[in-house]
Copies of this chain bind each other. A is one copy, B any other.
Amino acid sequence: MNIPRTSFPRVVIIGGGFAGISLIKSLKNCELQVVLIDKNNYHTFQPLLYQVATGGLEPDSIAFPLRKVIKDIPNFYFRLADVLKIDSLKCEVETTIGNLKYDYLVIATGSNTNFFGNKNIEKFSMSMKDVPQSLNLRSLILENFEDALLTSNFEERNSLMNFVIVGGGPTGVELAGALAEMKKAILPKDYPDLDIRQMQINIVQGGDRLLKTMSLKASEKSEDFLIDLGVNIWKNVHVLDYDGKIVKTSTDLTFNASTVIWAAGVNGAKVDGLESDCIVERADRFKVNEYNLVKGYENIFAIGDVACMELLIFPLGHPMMAQPAIQQGKHLATNIIAKITNKPMKPFKYKDKGSMATIGRNKAVVDLKNWKFQGVFAWFVWMFVHLFSLIGFRNKAVVFFNWVYNYIRFDRETRLIIRPYKHKNKESF
Contacts and interface: CB of A to CB of B under 8 A. Distances in A.
Contacts of A79: 146, 149
Main secondary structure of the interface of A (DSSP, over half): mixed
Interface residues of A, number: 53
So how many copies of this chain end up in the complex? 2
Contacts of A64: 413
A402 B398 CA distance: 8
Given A65-B413, A152-B2, A418 B193 contact: no
Given A2-B149, A2-B150, A60 B419 contact: no
A317 interface: no
A108 interface: no
A405 B416 contact: no
Interface in A45-73: 58-61, 63-65, 67-68, 71-72
Contact of A1 (B68, B132, B150, B402): B150
A418 B245 CA distance: 30
Contacts of A397: 401, 405
A76 to B, nearest CB: 9
Indicate the member of A65, A68, A394, A411 with the most B CB atoms within 10 Å.
A65
Contacts of A42: 416-418
A78 to B, nearest CB: 9
Contacts of A340: none
Contacts of A417: 40-42, 80
Contacts of A41: 142, 146, 415-417
Contacts of A392: 413
23 contacts: A2-B151, A3-B193, A40-B417, A41-B416, A42-B417, A42-B418, A58-B59, A58-B60, A58-B398, A59-B418, A60-B413, A64-B413, A65-B415, A65-B416, A67-B189, A71-B189, A98-B150, A132-B418, A132-B419, A394-B402, A394-B411, A395-B413, A397-B401
